[in-house]
Chains A and B, each alone.
Chain A
């Protein structure tokens, strides 16, 4: 059960801190899992090492999101001190599920609430990038050049012909499903894979999904999803 995808590889190890430009400043997303010391060393290296010029300059608002990391009082102090000591940083937010982090995600106009399941209706067209916090169902096609990413699962009730990234923050149990499965590229957590080239093969009409198992990524009919994910 489960045909393996061709051409797959694990994306290089992510650094423990990722920096994103957000409205009004810089967002630092700290990795949930790496050891505290390693995190502190990495930050110190970032701010005072070779590449520190990247972060010096005019006053900058910074937002810090430490995700699911459990911090003791000591650790919180150490962590905050690194940011406060950086002379041009103004710390605006420190916590998990920060406003700055959540602003990265696609929100429905009417509900900005903490919903973790989303339904997006419409075609995701070339050049559009949507990011969802939680699971998402796309009712429509994902066209070539369109991108959907979610921290959870991605279901496409239509033709998946673009790029989908499930489990963007490292959730390895996330899956990608589509009514017509001919993606350009698939990513789950830190794995990336290309679909096999099916030249001239007739369109298949059943839903399929991709998931990770011990030996890498596999694709199966959607009806097996429950036996794979006990």
Chain B
């Protein structure tokens, strides 16, 4: 029996779909069988980010309403064998999914896959409830901004009310320079406010956008910091203890000299 993990945030635009795609792919690269569910009905994105848009014939609403069998709607990834995706519907809206039906689908997938990754829509209404109902665990994605942290806090409260085992935190889009200058919330500060376990931090990396456009999850390219960050997250999900990444960029010669003499920059 596999584990279902919902990836959620409350606020939109913090990187839920990107995180889902990358965490799912990274888990598959580590040898686990993974199925990703796009629960953002009406605004489907996960298939686009994964570059699988042109292969969709059936979607999750078809499965839920009995229009096709579950196996027919699953799309096998073109690069990673162990990875499948159950796409959302583009034409219907969020109310088209019934919580009980989704629960049944997630249960069925858990029997076949090691991990079921559910990409939740933004917000805390019906779509959020549907996305979280079948989940055993939750990953809350936030960015170092006040509004995103506030929404993450709200969502954690709701998840705790639903008896989801202690949600884990991913802080996305960190810019070390801005944090150092005090223009972005500090990681410690965020963890202290939200008081949940930190699963990983992901630096703001332009290659993520470049890969998004090409329809390739960043983790497939091992050369960027964001890619390494998502691989680390996947390893921590599997129980490895991987130290947090040091985000400080290469410093100039003078900074190194100053460090050498122990003075504060």
Contact = CB atoms under 8 A, between A and B. Distances in A.
Interface string B135-160: 00000000000000011011011100
A143 B192 CA distance: 10
B162 interface: no
19 contacts: A123-B195, A125-B153, A125-B154, A125-B157, A126-B151, A126-B154, A127-B157, A127-B158, A128-B157, A141-B193, A141-B195, A143-B153, A143-B193, A144-B193, A145-B150, A145-B153, A145-B154, A146-B153, A161-B193
A182 to B, nearest CB: 12
A224 to B, nearest CB: 28
Interface string B69-112: 00000000000000000000000000000000000000000000
Interface of B: 150-151, 153-154, 156-158, 193, 195
A128 B159 CA distance: 12
Nearest to A128: B157
B180 to A, nearest CB: 16
Interface residues of A, number: 12
Interface in A112-156: 123, 125-128, 140-141, 143-146
Given A125-B156, A126-B157, A128-B157, A144 B150 contact: yes
A125 B195 CA distance: 10
A123 B153 CA distance: 10
B89 to A, nearest CB: 29
B141 to A, nearest CB: 16
Contacts of B158: 127
Interface of A: 123, 125-128, 140-141, 143-146, 161
B160 to A, nearest CB: 8
Contacts of B154: 125-127, 145
Contacts of A140: 195
B112 to A, nearest CB: 35
A161 B195 CA distance: 14
A175 B9 CA distance: 35
Pairs of residues from A and B, 8 with the lowest C-beta to C-beta distance, nearest first: A125-B157, A126-B153, A126-B154, A127-B154, A125-B153, A126-B150, A128-B157, A143-B153
The residue among A140, A143, A145, A161 with the most chain B CB atoms within 10 A of its own CB is A143
A212 to B, nearest CB: 30
B193 to A, nearest CB: 6
A175 B151 CA distance: 29
The residue among B150, B153, B158, B193 with the most chain A CB atoms within 10 A of its own CB is B153
A144 B157 CA distance: 13
A161 B146 CA distance: 13
Contacts of B151: 126
Contacts of A143: 153, 193
B19 to A, nearest CB: 21
Given A128-B157, A143-B193, 17 more contacts: A125-B153, A125-B156, A125-B157, A126-B150, A126-B151, A126-B157, A127-B157, A127-B158, A140-B195, A141-B193, A141-B195, A144-B150, A144-B153, A145-B150, A145-B153, A145-B154, A146-B153
A72 to B, nearest CB: 46
Contacts of B156: 125
Contacts of A127: 153-154, 157-158
A146 B193 CA distance: 12
B97 to A, nearest CB: 24
Nearest to A125: B157
Contacts of A128: 157
B76 to A, nearest CB: 40
A141 B153 CA distance: 12
A226 B124 CA distance: 44
A140 B193 CA distance: 10
B237 to A, nearest CB: 24
A125 B156 CA distance: 8
A212 B153 CA distance: 32
A147 to B, nearest CB: 12
Nearest to A161: B193
A132 B151 CA distance: 25
